[in-house]
């Protein structure tokens, strides 16, 4: 069984962008989510949400650029996507 590196790179980039965009969109819309005991009314989560949305755009743009660089660019794209998703997951847990 041969692994299609291009398809794997596309899927990891898509997963990373969708995860960051979903979390970022949730944080940006957090002022509309009613929280008991939140004195800031969710406004403290808007800035990290915007940063996550921007990082999703950066991952997408860098992924598009690295797609043109050959197989080493695809491998770098996979590694970067996995590292970013893992770091966001660790920050969300901790």
Tens-digit pLDDT profile for residues 66-85: 778 777 888 888 888 888 87
- How many structural domains are present in the chain? 1
23-56 residue pLDDT tens: 778 777 777 766 667 666 667 777 777 877 887 8
Residues 6+ apart with CB under 8 A from 73: 65, 66, 67
Q: ∠ at Cα 54 (18, 41), nearest 5°?
A: 90
Domain limits at 15? 5-93
- What is the pTM for the complete model shown? 0.65
């Amino acid at each position: 069984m041969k692994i299609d590196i291009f398809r794997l790179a596309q899927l990891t980039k898509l997963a990373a962008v969708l995860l960051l965009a979903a979390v970022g969109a949730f944080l940006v819309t957090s002022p509309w989510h009613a929280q008991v005991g939140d004195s800031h009314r969710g406004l403290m989560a808007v800035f990290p949400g915007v940063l996550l949305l921007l990082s999703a755009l950066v991952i997408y743009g860098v992924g598009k650029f690295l797609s043109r660089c050959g197989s080493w660019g695809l491998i770098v794209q996979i590694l970067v996507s996995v590292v970013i998703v893992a770091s966001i997951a660790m920050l969300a847990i901790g």
